[in-house]
Amino acid sequence: MLDYTTAEGLTIEHMREAHERIKPYINRTPVLRSQYLNDLTGADIYFKCENFQEAGAFKVRGACNAVFGLTDEQARNGVCTHSSGNHALSLSYAAGRRGIPCNVVMPRTAPQAKKDAVKRYGGTITECEPSTTSREASFAEVQARTGGEFVHPYNDPRVIAGQATCSAELLEQVDGPLDAVVAPIGGGGMISGTCLTISNLAPNTKIYAAEPEQADDAYRSFKAGHIIADDAPETIADGLKVPLKENTWHFVSHFVTDIHTASEQEIIDAMKITWKYLRIVMEPSCAPPLATILKNPEVFKGKRVGVIVTGGNVDLDKLPWL
């Protein structure tokens, strides 16, 4: 196993090692297109559908790389984490496949669908208040009690290397080079993995991040040149509330071309038209890329654009346009 101590030390070999390690436990998700959405945006969009991933989100890539990279000694007390949802259930899935315990701290406001899925995969939930401070306090207690190996949802080089496998597949699945790749940004795990792969394998492809206006800490960090972290911003894109950390800031600050933001209504509209015309069930947190592509035609028109659709765990009884 390669050294995973620092984000700066990650190379494309870490991505390749991760891909080999996790292949038995993940899906090679399809890339879908929609003529209607192409006509609407003026771009040629390739949607990498991680909503069809095991556990319903790309997060299972990083979780599996972390869990299956542990020595038996490291895995003895299982794993633990805090997460607004998809990392929690992905780590539960990975731990379940390896046969070790998984303890997760989740905000009590997390979607019921995600809580149900964590339990289905055998994870144990401790609920906290929906703020960074409450989450960190609850997590410290859980970690001390269980002695589990901490797998951070995004600020962990093992996790970033796992997420990097997604755009490696995307590059193989599209016919010819991409002008740009757009991914949502919350804590920055997916965008960091995207940077690791794209900067090495497709250095002429630009990398854009898309963020809710109401949780635009990454946008403001990017413009300021240092991490700005907000406590508990409100947005329908519940997976994008968390702040950047040093390992993801490394990639965002070095490799991202720009960050665009979208309003809550723009996110909801983009979500609905994706459901309608791409015919996939995706989370609100997946919608900022299409919303920002629609909002910034001068950047994307006439371009071949990859979009990472990050997850599909939704409460079908609470759809935001109804």
Query: By the criterion CB under 8 A, which residues form the site for a copy of itself?
Result: 30, 32, 35-36, 51-52, 54, 56, 113, 120, 272, 275-276, 278-282, 312, 314, 316-317, 319, 321-322
For residues 2 and 40, which CB has a smaller minimum distance to a copy of itself in the complex?
A: 40
For residues 225 and 279, which CB has a smaller minimum distance to a copy of itself in the complex?
A: 279
For residues 240 and 309, which CB has a smaller minimum distance to a copy of itself in the complex?
A: 309
Strand partners, 107: 128
For residues 15 and 308, which CB has a smaller minimum distance to a copy of itself in the complex?
A: 308
Q: How far is the CB of 50 from a copy of itself (least distance, A)?
A: 10
Q: How far is the CB of 268 from a copy of itself (least distance, A)?
A: 12
Q: How far is the CB of 266 from a copy of itself (least distance, A)?
A: 17
Q: How far is the CB of 312 from a copy of itself (least distance, A)?
A: 4
Q: How far is the CB of 123 from a copy of itself (least distance, A)?
A: 15
Collapsed DSSP state (helix, strand, coil) of residue 41: helix
Collapsed DSSP state (helix, strand, coil) of residue 212: strand
What residues contact 242, with CB distance under 8 A and at least 6 apart?
A: 84, 132, 153, 154, 186, 187
Q: Which two tokens stand for residue 124?
A: 């144990």
Amino acid of residue 60: V
Collapsed DSSP state (helix, strand, coil) of residue 104: strand
d(CA 122, CA 124): 7
Q: How far is the CB of 134 from a copy of itself (least distance, A)?
A: 29
- Within 13 A of 6's CA, how many CA atoms are on the CB side? 3
For residues 144 and 316, which CB has a smaller minimum distance to a copy of itself in the complex?
A: 316
For residues 64 and 70, which CB has a smaller minimum distance to a copy of itself in the complex?
A: 64
Do residues 88 and 104 lie in contact, with contact meaning Cβ atoms separated by under 8 Å?
Answer: yes
d(CA 184, CA 310): 8
